[in-house]
Amino acid sequence: MPVDLQALYPRLIHLMLDTVFVVDRDNQIVFVSDACEALLGYRACELIGTPITDYMHPDDLVITRASILRVMNGQSHYDFRNRYIRKDGGIVHILWAACWSDEADARIGVARDVTAQHQAEEELRFLAHHDPLTRLANRAMFNERLDTALAAARHHNQPLALLFIDINDFKDINDNHGHSMGDRVLCTLARRLEGCVGATDTVARMGGDEFTVLLTDYVSPEAIAEQLARILAAMAEPLGAEFAGIDAPSCSIGVARFPDDGNDADMLLRHADGDMYRIKRQRAAAG
């Protein structure tokens, strides 16, 4: 017995995990499949007869109207992305395939929720320039910002400062309390460093227990000294009860100033690193 496909089409459409929309020339929703409730939080009966633009993220209206015009002019659009506002106020990222139907005098669109994919892509972009543990800038981003800051400093004949920070005896925390606790300490110290600098400055984790700070608004040795004192005080504050009595580790900070201590990024980093190790040796000698 032959299968009546025409009779099956409505059921098949409502079984789809993606959402099917049919929208007329006036942007009114005339049909939407049952998957819309998972996508936007609305039942089909709540959407039918309302403008589809009511549910679009306002920041995406302009590009979406351009896509609508393209489809209404007979050019199918199979890779368009925009954002919609769910009934609960959340934002959903949608990938669309849409075309115009002369028979229905309406455009037909299939919407796929790609929110998870979008978030994964954003995380990958973030991790390309940030340390995955502390969420600070990583070495690559720091080097980019240092190069940009140096170019601006040369152009405007202005100084800048670079700090190289090493956490003293951090290995003891890992050895005595475990690497998980050591990671928590590093994240706490990272937040403290961020709290010490201005919006135009950059804090980066270079690896292990080493950090760098790029200071662009400190024009005098006195201002840099004040910033060093602020960082040392912040890092020395007690860690809190959740750290099981671990004392806040001290840190050694090396300083390099442009142009006094170097004219390029490599020279400044080497100078700050060397200055930091000089301070560590002094600390060790003092016992």
pLDDT score at 176? 87
pTM of the predicted protein model? 0.79
Give the integer Cα–Cα distance in Å for 257 and 220.
Answer: 10
Give the integer Cα–Cα distance in Å for 281 and 243.
Answer: 28
Confidence class for position 3, pLDDT limits 50, 70, 90:
low
Looking only at Cα atoms, what is the longest distance across the chain?
A: 95
**Range with lowest mean pLDDT among 25-34, 45-54, 151-160:** 151-160
Active-site residue (options: 113, 166, 209, 273):
209
Q: Is 251 exposed, middle or buried (0-12, 13-18, 19+ CB in 10 A)?
A: buried
**Range with lowest mean pLDDT among 31-40, 239-248, 251-260:** 239-248
Asked whether the predicted pLDDT for residue 30 surpasses 70, the reply is yes
* Omega before 259 within 30 of 0, i.e. cis: yes
The residues pairing with 81 across neighbouring beta strands, listed in sequence order, are: 95
* Per-residue pLDDT reduced to its tens digit, 74-114: 999 999 999 999 999 999 999 999 999 999 999 999 999 99
Average pLDDT of the segment spanning 206-230: 90
* Per-residue pLDDT reduced to its tens digit, 171-197: 999 988 899 999 999 999 999 999 999
Please give the helix or strand (H or E) that residue 233 lies within, else none.
helix 221-236
Asked whether the predicted pLDDT for residue 255 surpasses 90, the reply is yes
Confidence class for position 220, pLDDT limits 50, 70, 90:
confident
Give me Rg for the CA atoms of the chain: 29
Between 152 and 217, name the one with better pLDDT: 152
* Per-residue pLDDT reduced to its tens digit, 31-66: 999 999 999 999 999 999 999 999 999 999 999 999
Q: Is 213 exposed, middle or buried (0-12, 13-18, 19+ CB in 10 A)?
A: buried
Cβ atoms 36, 47 nearer than 8 A: yes
What's the Cα-to-Cα distance from 92 to each of 31, 112, 117, 187, 198, rounded to whole Å?
20, 10, 11, 31, 34
Confidence class for position 211, pLDDT limits 50, 70, 90:
very high
Mean pLDDT of the chain: 92
Q: Which domains does the chain have, with CATH numbers?
A: 5-120 (3.30.450.20), 129-286 (3.30.70.270)
Confidence class for position 11, pLDDT limits 50, 70, 90:
confident
Confidence class for position 248, pLDDT limits 50, 70, 90:
confident
Cβ atoms 94, 83 nearer than 8 A: yes
pLDDT score at 134? 97
pLDDT score at 242? 86
Asked whether the predicted pLDDT for residue 8 surpasses 90, the reply is no
Specify whether 26 is catalytic.
Answer: no
Asked whether the predicted pLDDT for residue 4 surpasses 70, the reply is no
pLDDT score at 221? 86
pLDDT score at 51? 97
pLDDT score at 1? 56
Q: Give which of 61, 191, 57 is closest to 135, Cα–Cα.
A: 191
